[in-house]
Structure 1
Amino acid sequence: MHALVHAADVQDRDGGVNVMTTLFGLFPFLMTLFADGGYQGEQFQSGLKKAIATVNVEIVKRSDQAKGFVVLPKRWVVEQTFAWLGRCRRLAKDWECRNAKAFAFLKLASIRFMLRKLCKPS
């Protein structure tokens, strides 16, 4: 749906506010944001509420009783998408020295991924 590429010295939590602000600006009908535990800090929550007051943030956490690997609801979709994008050789490592170039290759990989999904005979 949306992506931003920023410098490596920007924390995900800090860059997440920019991503969510532009995402919810493009798709104002979205109401819920599912995020992992790294985004539960006060800085992210207050920055997001300041930008978008109507969004409901749900933090998906791992259970304390869980032993070993456990598939977390909603989070596996993101992890699976990252794995599919990581199969593209250009995205497997950070080769790009310009953010615009990295963003372009991310879009190309996403287009390739969606075309394969759409053209796959069922």
Structure 2
Amino acid sequence: WPWLRHVFADGGHAGPKLRDAMKGHGDWDIEIIKRSDTASGFEALPRRWVIERTFAWLGRSRRLAKDWEATTASSEAWLLIAHIRILVRRLARYHAPPVEL
């Protein structure tokens, strides 16, 4: 995605593994959305809804509901398939001819 410049990630992905995985794929700024250490109970986090919404969309795919894949490459392939499915459905919704009764 050449137009993508800013990536949001969950606090669980704060280590070097994410940066190493993204290295060589583009010049991206990575912003880790973390919960405050002093927070108790629920706290609304900025831009966290984007991450959660994306996980919810992907969670609708049966294959991604559980982590069944043995390799990272296989997991990435199924994520790509799930995203293609989401985009095709959106395109079909906006480009479908009107129904006449």
TM-score w.r.t. the length of structure 2 is 0.62
Higher relative contact order (CA 8 A, sep 6+): 1
Provide the residue aligned with 1:20 in structure 2.
22
Q: Which has the higher helix share?
A: 1
Tell me the CA shift for residue 119 of structure 1: 2.2
Q: Which residue of 2 aligns with 1:5?
A: none
The residue aligned with 1:56 is none
Identity %: 37
CA RMSD of aligned residues (A): 2.9
Q: Among residues 42, 61, 75, which one is paired with 1:68 in the alignment?
A: 42
Asked if the contact 2:33–2:47 (Cα under 8 Å) also holds between the matched residues in 1, the reply is no
Equivalences, count: 84
List gaps (5 residues or longer) in structure 2: 2-11, 96-101
Answer with 1 or 2: which has the greater Rg: 2
Distance 2:84 2:68 in 1: 20
- Tell me how far apart the structure 1 counterparts of residues 51 and 21 of structure 2 sit (CA, whole Å): 15
The ranges of structure 1 where at least 4 consecutive aligned residues each deviate by more than 4 angstroms after the TM superposition are 64-67
Give unmatched runs, 5+ long, in structure 1.
2-10, 38-60
